[in-house]
């Protein structure tokens, strides 16, 4: 139980290099089970979800070494097909390990990931797709067991462009006989990273980034060396930090085209954006303009993972903004915490829509992170607030940001990570 102590009023300015993406590395780590060689992954973020994924890989028999931000994984000795409940409980996205384990061993046992802070998080699209590929799925005392004598390629139409279901289906289809086509596939950039890594291992996949992905079955995969794509949500978070504090920031190691849904909205608030290959810069006007409407959508729409950060930024904008969260039923738990800091927000439509009336300044307070991006949003609010803000339950934020306090301090902020309750009084 740690916390961040944020002293507000400092402008976020300077240069920062962005690390590898949390939502890029997780499916790639789930996919290394499919190859029975050694994979070397560079630009791996040292975040809690990476370490949980390493624990899962070691549990099923892979050997993993981490040197700095490089992972060396030998999956030749992988021989177990059960993913323990304690690890699934730590990271619900471990459900994306199902497809790889099923593809390699033709059987997998995993506990139901259950809901999380964002809502119910059902996995029906995942299970339906694996069934269509030939898996027989049963559940026993809270565990899902999937078995398949043979996986056969087929056409799979996802009811919704689910990121995880797209990734799980890709993994399960790599060794399936014949061709699999995923229609209405998610188009998030991380899916293209997964495709590129799998093809480097010898898979035959194309179409990632479009709504139709085809996977031609192959008999086996070998290891590969690969560099994980940069984290577009971490990049967006640091751009928002500069925007809300009236600063200016230059980010290196970014893919500007992946950031466009975010930078276009920041431009609407009055920020200046400049891009060069691998670089994006933002200059804040100081006081931001409100947004008539911000609606989260599947890529290339505005990403739900940036919604809390934008909500925090709009609390002190000129005018009233409307932010609609369409992807998750319970992704506005940061709103009450922002209101403790003096934000003027009304939640409508059973909490999915926030009507944000800009106030002059937020005031420092003790607030509590309820989830990863909500916690990041509270840190941004603290950066812009008068006085000191303590953001508790820092473990949520540590799941997705590598030492965020270090990065923000490098950009001129005064943020300290208090690693245990005992320091909170400092």
DSSP code string of 157-218: E-SS--HHHHHHHHHHHTTSBSEEEEES----HHHHHHHHHHHHTT-EEE-BTBSEEEEE--
In this structure, are residues 337 and 368 in contact, taking their beta carbons and an 8 Å threshold?
Answer: yes
CB closer to ligand EPZ, 288 vs 327: 327
**Which span (8-16, 20-28, 32-40, 197-205) binds ligand EPZ, by CB under 6 A?**
20-28
CA–centroid distance for 97 within its chain: 16
Q: What are phi and psi of 62, to 5 degrees?
A: -80, 150
CB of 115 to ligand EPZ, least distance (A): 9
Q: Tokens in use for 30?
A: 């789930």
- To which H or E segment does residue 312 belong? helix 307-314
Q: Tokens in use for 411?
A: 């950009």
Binding-residue pattern over the window 109 to 128 for ligand EPZ, x denoting contact by CB under 6 A: ------------xxxxxx--
CA dist 235 and 150 (Å) reads: 42
CA angle 421, 113, 213 (to 5 degrees): 120
Dihedral angle of Cα 206, 210, 214, 215, to the nearest 10 degrees:
60
Binding-residue pattern over the window 358 to 377 for ligand EPZ, x denoting contact by CB under 6 A: --------------xx----
Q: Is 228 in the site for ligand EPZ (CB under 6 A)?
A: no
Q: Is 184 helix (H, G, I), strand (E, B) or coil?
A: coil
Q: Is 162 in the site for ligand EPZ (CB under 6 A)?
A: yes
CB of 186 to ligand EPZ, least distance (A): 6
Q: Is 165 in the site for ligand EPZ (CB under 6 A)?
A: yes
CB of 340 to ligand EPZ, least distance (A): 22
Among 160, 204, 287, 423, binds ligand EPZ (CB under 6 A): 160
In this structure, are residues 35 and 78 in contact, taking their beta carbons and an 8 Å threshold?
Answer: no
Q: Is 231 in the site for ligand EPZ (CB under 6 A)?
A: no
CA dist 307 and 357 (Å) reads: 16
- To which H or E segment does residue 97 belong? helix 97-105
Among 16, 23, 34, 241, binds ligand EPZ (CB under 6 A): 23
CB closer to ligand EPZ, 97 vs 125: 125
Question: Is 297 in the active site?
Answer: no
Which residues ranging from 376 to 415 are in contact with ligand EPZ (CB under 6 A)? 400
CA dist 25 and 301 (Å) reads: 22
CB-nearest residue to ligand EPZ: 164
CB closer to ligand EPZ, 361 vs 403: 403
CB closer to ligand EPZ, 304 vs 392: 304
Q: Tokens in use for 398?
A: 């540590």
Among 54, 64, 110, 163, binds ligand EPZ (CB under 6 A): 163
Among 45, 99, 100, 164, binds ligand EPZ (CB under 6 A): 164
Which residues ranging from 321 to 340 are in contact with ligand EPZ (CB under 6 A)? 327-328
Whose CA is closest to 309, among 365, 373, 372, 263?
Answer: 373
Among 7, 62, 81, 116, which one carries the catalytic annotation?
116
**β-strand 136-140 against 82-83: which pairing, if any?**
unpaired
Q: Is 197 in the site for ligand EPZ (CB under 6 A)?
A: no
Q: Tokens in use for 219?
A: 């008999």
Instruction: Say how many residues touch ligand EPZ, by CB under 6 A.
Output: 24
- At a CB cut-off of 8 Å and minimum separation 6, what does 313 contact? 240, 243, 244, 269, 288, 380, 384
CA dist 4 and 367 (Å) reads: 10
CB closer to ligand EPZ, 29 vs 341: 29
In this structure, are residues 261 and 301 in contact, taking their beta carbons and an 8 Å threshold?
Answer: yes
CB closer to ligand EPZ, 188 vs 405: 188
CB closer to ligand EPZ, 229 vs 290: 229
Residues of the shown chain interacting with ligand EPZ in the complex, contacts defined by CB under 6 A: 22-23, 26, 93, 121-126, 160, 162-165, 186, 188, 304-305, 327-328, 372-373, 400
Would you please indicate which residues are annotated as catalytic (active-site) residues? 116
């Amino acid at each position: 139980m740690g916390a961040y102590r944020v002293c507000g009023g400092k402008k976020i300015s300077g240069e920062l290099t962005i690390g590898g993406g949390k939502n890029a590395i997780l499916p790639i780590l789930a996919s290394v089970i499919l190859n029975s060689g050694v994979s070397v992954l560079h630009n791996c973020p040292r975040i809690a979800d990476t370490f949980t994924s390493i624990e899962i890989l070691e549990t099923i028999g892979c050997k993993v070494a981490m040197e700095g931000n490089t992972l060396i994984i030998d999956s030749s000795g992988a021989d177990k097909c059960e993913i323990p409940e304690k690890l699934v409980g730590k990271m619900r996205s471990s459900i994306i390990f199902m497809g790889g384990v099923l593809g390699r061993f033709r059987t997998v046992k995993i506990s139901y990931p259950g809901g999380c802070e964002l809502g119910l998080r059902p996995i029906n699209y995942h299970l339906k797709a694996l069934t269509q590929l030939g898996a027989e799925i049963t559940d026993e005392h809270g565990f899902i067991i999937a078995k398949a004598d043979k996986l056969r390629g087929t056409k799979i139409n996802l009811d919704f462009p689910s990121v995880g279901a797209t990734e799980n289906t890709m993994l399960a289809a790599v060794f399936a006989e014949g061709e699999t086509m995923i229609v209405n596939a998610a188009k998030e950039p991380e899916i293209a990273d997964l495709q590129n890594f799998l093809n480097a291992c010898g898979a035959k996949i194309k179409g990632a980034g479009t709504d139709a992905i085809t996977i031609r079955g192959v008999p086996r995969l070998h290891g590969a060396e690969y560099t994980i794509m940069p984290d577009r949500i971490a990049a967006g978070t640091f751009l928002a930090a500069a925007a809300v504090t009236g600063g200016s920031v230059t980010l290196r190691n970014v893919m500007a085209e992946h950031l466009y849904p975010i930078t276009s909205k920041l431009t609407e608030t009055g920020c200046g954006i400049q891009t060069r290959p691998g670089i994006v810069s933002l200059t804040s006007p100081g006081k931001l303009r409100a947004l008539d409407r911000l609606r989260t959508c599947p890529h290339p729409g505005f990403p739900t993972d940036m919604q809390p950060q934008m909500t925090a930024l709009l609390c002190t904008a000129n005018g009233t903004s409307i932010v609609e969260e369409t992807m998750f039923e319970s992704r506005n738990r940061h709103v009450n915490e922002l209101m403790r800091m003096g934000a003027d927000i009304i939640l409508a439509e059973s909490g999915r829509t926030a009507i944000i009336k800009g106030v002059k300044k937020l005031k420092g307070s003790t607030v509590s992170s309820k989830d990863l991006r909500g916690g990041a949003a509270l840190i941004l609010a603290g950066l812009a607030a008068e006085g000191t803000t303590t953001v508790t339950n820092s473990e949520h934020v540590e799941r997705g940001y590598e030492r965020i306090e270090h990065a923000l301090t490098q950009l001129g902020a005064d943020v300290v990570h208090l690693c245990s309750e005992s320091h909170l009084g400092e």
